[in-house]
Amino acid sequence: MANQKPSTAIEAVESGLAAQGYIASRQIATAVYLSQQIEKPILVEGPAGVGKTELAKAIAAWRGLKMIRLQCYEGLDEAKALYEWKYAKQLLYTQILKDKLGEVLGGAQTLHAALDQLHTFGDVFFSKEFVEPRPLLQALEQPGGCVLLIDEIDKSDAEFESLLLEILSDFQVTLPELGTISAIAPPTVILTSNSERDLGDALKRRCLHLHIGFPEQRLEERIVESRVPGISQNLRRQMVGFIHEIRTLDLKKLPSVSETIDWARVLVLLQAGELDTEMVKDTLNVLLKYEADIEAALPQVTTFIAKAARHNVFG
């Protein structure tokens, strides 16, 4: 890989992802290539539904690695993300081993001697046996490496971000009772964010920053082609053109790639040959998720279909 020319390597990434049904732009492919080469996480930002999470899945499928997903939410903490002690098991074992403990400590004459003997056991109850690994620790313990997806990092608290820093820069975590655990094979880390809040500079600094916006018309057609093979070329052009027109409107939530794909599936199901006003009006709720948005778009439908068709002729 190292002596391969970078541009061919990037193309290889592109075609590898394409084989998994993920059509990547050049920039995305470069980011994936670089993250592999310099072992840095990728921070993916962009509107909802442009395929940020899909990217991680595609990478995992392409490289044949396991994907470990950590969904972030407000209040997520160490115990749920990193590791937790198996309290119940610890308690159970102390109960079971009670007699054994008594035996061991039986020889001791004084309290002091008993304590000394107890110390010689070391931290039996705080050993790896009793650690319940959560996604982050699991990711570090995968022998063949894995793809770690930290989804919607912007939803988590600022404290959690700081927790991630050690993992992101050195691929290791420090557990107070066990010491530092390093990754067996550095995982490929993908973080996604919807820019709900600004992430800290420290986190951003450790990542490659990739912004995925709405794709260009050609790229989006290719995406639909790979995801919904049953759709005719003519209809595909029209519907993607239509969606691009819709995106010029000032809406609360613009339709993104996932909506495009859903709509393509719906159109195939309805066995549409080409876009017509009635059908579009009936299925507009697939594209637009707010009542106000639908109302804003409805009067424009006919114009947009005409525009999309015209674009089709010339483009």
Q: Which long-range contacts (CB under 8 A, 24 or more apart) does 260-264 make?
A: 260/220, 260/223, 260/224, 260/287, 261/223, 261/224, 261/227, 261/228, 262/286, 263/239, 263/287, 264/224, 264/227, 264/228, 264/231, 264/236, 264/239
Stretch that binds other proteins, among 13-21, 208-216, 288-296, 299-307 (CB under 8 A): 208-216
Does the protein bind other proteins through residue 204 (CB under 8 A)? yes
Q: Does residue 134 belong to the site contacting other proteins (CB under 8 A)?
A: no
What is the size of the binding site for other proteins (CB under 8 A)?
A: 28
* C-alpha torsion sign, points 49, 267, 226, 147: positive
Q: Which amino acid is it at 15?
A: S
Asked if residue 172 lies in contact with residue 180, where contact means CB atoms within 8 angstroms, the answer is: yes
**One residue of 107, 109, 119, 201 binding other proteins per CB under 8 A:** 201
Segment interacting with other proteins (CB under 8 A) among 172-180, 195-203, 214-222, 262-270 = 195-203
User: CA of 240: how far to CAs of 22, 243, 312, in Å?
Assistant: 17, 5, 10
Is 73 one of the binding residues for other proteins (CB under 8 A)? Answer: no
- Bridge-based pairing of strands 188-193 and 42-45 is parallel
The interface region with other proteins, picked from 6-14, 93-101, 112-120, 138-146 by CB under 8 A, is: 6-14
Residues from 27 through 56 that contact other proteins (CB under 8 A)? 27, 30-31, 33-34, 37-38, 40, 45
> Is 158 a residue that touches other proteins (CB under 8 A)?
yes
- Output the smallest distance, CB 265 to other proteins, in A: 30
The answer to whether residue 210 forms part of the interface with other proteins (CB under 8 A) is: yes
Q: Report the alpha-carbon distance of residue 196 to residue 46 in Å, rounded.
A: 10
- Interface contacts to other proteins, rule CB under 8 A: 6-7, 10, 26-27, 30-31, 33-34, 37-38, 40, 45, 87-88, 91, 157-159, 197-198, 201, 204-205, 208-211
